[in-house]
Amino acid sequence: MTATYLPTDYDIFVGLDVDKKSFAFTVKDHNGMQRSKKIPSNPEQFFGYVQNNYRDKKIICAYEAGPTGFHLYDYLKEKGIPCLVVSPVAMPKAPNERVKTNRIDSEKLAQDLKSGSLESIRVPQGEYRQLRYLVKTRENYSRLRKTTKQRIKALLLSAHLDSDIKDGSNQWSRNYINDLKQLSCSDAVRTSLDMLLSDLEYAREQALIIHRKIKVFFKHNETIDQYRRYLQSIPGIGFIVATTILGRIGDPRELKNPREIGAFLGLVPTERSTGDATKRGSITHLGNKTLRFLLIEAAWVAIRKDITLQQFYHRIKRRHHPRIASKKAITAVARKLTLIIYRILKEQRKYTP
């Protein structure tokens, strides 16, 4: 999801490389002027520099999204200075690019900003940003559960215990966990296994806590909760997928076109066109990987519940070689779901087949 700008509307272009301790930034204009500077990581000091040197100029800034969050963006927006927050994976890169420093990164950002080739992510505002924090926390504990299960299976395989206990890869029920706790093995393996089981239990408990926190969040935010209910009316989309969508895309009122969600999730096809020839390839895989995975999982459920989506799935499947047909078709269904999501959010209504 992007925000656009016209370089001709601005006099000064500032590219910033932002980290915990410093701002390395480069200033350019239309006349070839270029200045680079490094200051402590302090938005007030950066704003003071800009005001002292370019008070009467129209300024636009850009920096890459990263662990420092949106503090600089918020401050500059409050001061009336437009700022783009750019996804690192969407940054144009030269094939022979080998050297990377903070100064070089800031120069590149300033140049791309000046040329008009940058696209900004949409920065979540207000309660949508708070929801994103909660969603990211849930994703972290979900990831911890998954990696811990993988480590347990790897330990069982390494210690040649995988055949002594029934595979729990699908359910991981309480009975299966109890069997693991009672499994006969050496002291060293028992210590490792018990610690991993403790990690798994911790991740489960924390996931339950954050799930409850998200439910409380919706109780206190009726407008966002209404959007959640609209999303959950779509076949295949449950509470987790709906909250992840809202936490990741932000305020649905900011959506500009139907393809926006698909592009954000990397579900749109790559394209290489020359003259009259148009060649489309696999999906871009850009954007949020977790939400893309959840939406593809939702698509499998959707084709079992919605006859229209089921027919669409089989129509796409028949067009491809059997080896890749299912994968191509379900990806197409997931992309179609993004169009449905856009429509019901913009029209603020429940889904009707």
Give per-residue pLDDT as tens, 310-353: 999 999 999 999 999 999 999 999 999 999 999 999 999 999 88
Identify the pLDDT of residue 288.
79
Return the closest-CA partner of residue 139 out of 258, 316, 294.
Answer: 294
For residues 193 and 158, give the distance between their C-alpha atoms in angstroms, rounded to a whole number: 12
Give per-residue pLDDT as tens, 36-61: 999 999 999 999 999 999 999 999 99
Q: Do residues 61 and 23 lie in contact, with contact meaning Cβ atoms separated by under 8 Å?
A: no
Confidence tier at 165 by pLDDT (50, 70, 90): confident
Q: What is the pTM of this model?
A: 0.85
Helix spans in the chain (H): 43-54, 71-78, 102-115, 126-158, 174-181, 187-219, 222-232, 239-249, 259-264, 289-305, 307-317, 322-347
Which of the two residues, 268 and 331, has the higher pLDDT score? 331
3-state secondary structure of 99: coil
Q: For residue 13, what are the CA distances in angstroms to 31, 59, 69, 87?
A: 12, 6, 21, 18
